[in-house]
Amino acid sequence: MPAPSVSPVIVWFRRDLRLSDNPAVAAALKDGAPIIFLFIRDQIVDDMGACPSWRLGLALDKLGQRIADLGGQLILRRGAPIAVLREVIAQTGAVGLHYCRDYTPQAIARDTDVKADLSTLVQVTSHNGQLLFEPWTTETGAGSFYKVYTPFWKAVRDRDMDDPTPAPAQIPIPESQPDSETLSDWGFDASMDRGAAVVLKHTHVGEAAAQERLRYFIDNNIGAYKAERDRMDIDATSRLSENLTYGEISPRQMWHAGRQAMQQGAAGAEHFLKEIVWREFAYHLVYHSPHILSSNWREGWDAFPWRDDNADAEKWRRGETGEPIVDAAMREMYVTGTMHNRSRMIVASYLTKHLMVHWKVGMDWFAECLTDWDPASNAMGWQWVAGCGPDASPFFRVFNPQTQAEKFDPIGVYRARFLDAAHQEARDFRAASPRSWDLKPDPRELPPMVDLKEGRERALAAYKAHTANGRESAPET
């Protein structure tokens, strides 16, 4: 390691909680100065839902331990980033600031302000540590952004990419550290109540756990990934979204592992790469059309007669719709902090079509309950299913939960796991859910909340009236 110079540089962590393949860390190491590792609990963090913020606390704890193992310290501060950074700079005499870019409108506004304010004090450098490709580097032939996934995939699949960088074996440490708050003071677990102990069993926190998961997936599951990724009863996918969300693994590390497997002839590998690019596509859309996060991507849908949050939506949240695959999926999320991709599509279709409840109600509940909550993928996923997003599944394509269950949970293993009290996960759901929910003993005995045929016809009639009013054109293909 180069001899540390006197003035340190700051690495400001946000959604990139790792040391390997982290360009902000790599750049700070290149500076050769002692590094102050900083995390700021700002408004963006305070706005996170219960489960995501609890999971963030676990990620920070793990990252703190990892930095401590190398002799350093993760400094935790709460407040408005400019004020906190100014204070840390004043306390330490730091001369540089590195961070990885984030792409939600709130994050972009925050970072723009930070850069404008601090550039006269320190050298501020942002990096790409969250995506494979910056959202502004991919353009259609007409010079616009992509609104359809397949051409986006074709545009990026063969792009050059640097190799991921390894984690540093040593880090230059400043002689003294600035003050730090503590994670226990932050109380990130406060709103998890009884859920924390249950969800904890299903989380894999930190860089090492993420790498282990990636290895396991590549060694065991990537070959059959394309064929089996929709099966809810089989452990066929990488389950890395949780780690990707907090940056415990980089998309580039996943891409490289997938690419290598593809070169070695793994049948499902290309499909895995395609899924990673769905996440890229989500951020591409958020960057170019940020309203996707909060309103119908296609304005024509503003007049659609979605129902607001209501008693039906509450039953959906509790997994008491009387539709076993929907109830199992909703309980999977509550117990594990995640939900199979196929299940997400089924419950989203049921809520927005059979119950005709606004997709934002579902999106908000996911944002409260998922350990892999990602603002871009969540919004895109909901708008895709509801039919109002770009490149969406048309509204008239209504998933039949029973047919889906027969196809993707053929002998009912998944449903039993979350609904049958003989299984730990089903019992855990009762242990984790609020007492005020007053759950019925066995959700499989509940009558269906809505007749599937009638619900479908009601949704299609609303859609027909809506399009007849000229309010919505056919989805782009």
Ligand X SMILES: Cc1cc2nc3c(=O)[nH]c(=O)nc-3n(C[C@H](O)[C@H](O)[C@H](O)COP(=O)(O)OP(=O)(O)OC[C@H]3O[C@@H](n4cnc5c(N)ncnc54)[C@H](O)[C@@H]3O)c2cc1C
Which residues are catalytically annotated?
275, 278, 306, 341, 359, 382
Q: How far, in Å, CA of 62 to CA of 401, rounded?
A: 39
Q: How far, in Å, CA of 163 to CA of 254, rounded?
A: 11
Given a contact cutoff of 8 angstroms between Cβ atoms, the answer to whether 256 and 20 are in contact is: no
Token duo for residue 206? 């930190």
What letter would DSSP give residue 204? -
Query: 466 Cβ partners below 8 Å, 6+ apart?
Result: 303, 304, 305, 472
Distances (CA, A) of 99 to 111, 115, 123, 282: 9, 11, 11, 21
Q: To 10 degrees, what angle do helices 424-432 and 324-336 make?
A: 70
Which residue lies nearer to ligand X by CB, 34 or 251?
Answer: 251
Cβ count within 10 A of residue 470:
8
CB of 241 to ligand X, least distance (A): 3
Given a contact cutoff of 8 angstroms between Cβ atoms, the answer to whether 48 and 56 are in contact is: yes
Q: How far, in Å, CA of 445 to CA of 17, rounded?
A: 44
Which residue lies nearer to ligand X by CB, 239 or 288?
Answer: 239
CB of 379 to ligand X, least distance (A): 8
Q: Is the dihedral of CA 115, 116, 117, 121 positive or negative?
A: positive
Q: How far, in Å, CA of 439 to CA of 330, rounded?
A: 14
Strands of the sheet containing 35-41, edge to edge, are 74-78, 35-41, 9-13, 96-100, 123-127
Site of tokens 């998890």: 192
CB of 234 to ligand X, least distance (A): 12
Phi-psi label, residue 3: left if phi above 0, alpha if psi -120 to 50, beta otherwise: beta
Give the residue nearest to ligand X (CB).
381
Which residue lies nearer to ligand X by CB, 239 or 317?
Answer: 239
CB of 445 to ligand X, least distance (A): 28
Binding site for ligand X (CB under 6 A): 229, 237-241, 244-245, 275-276, 278-279, 282, 341, 344-345, 348, 366, 370, 372-374, 377-378, 381-382, 385
Backbone dihedral angles phi then psi of residue 259, each to the nearest 5 degrees: -65, -45
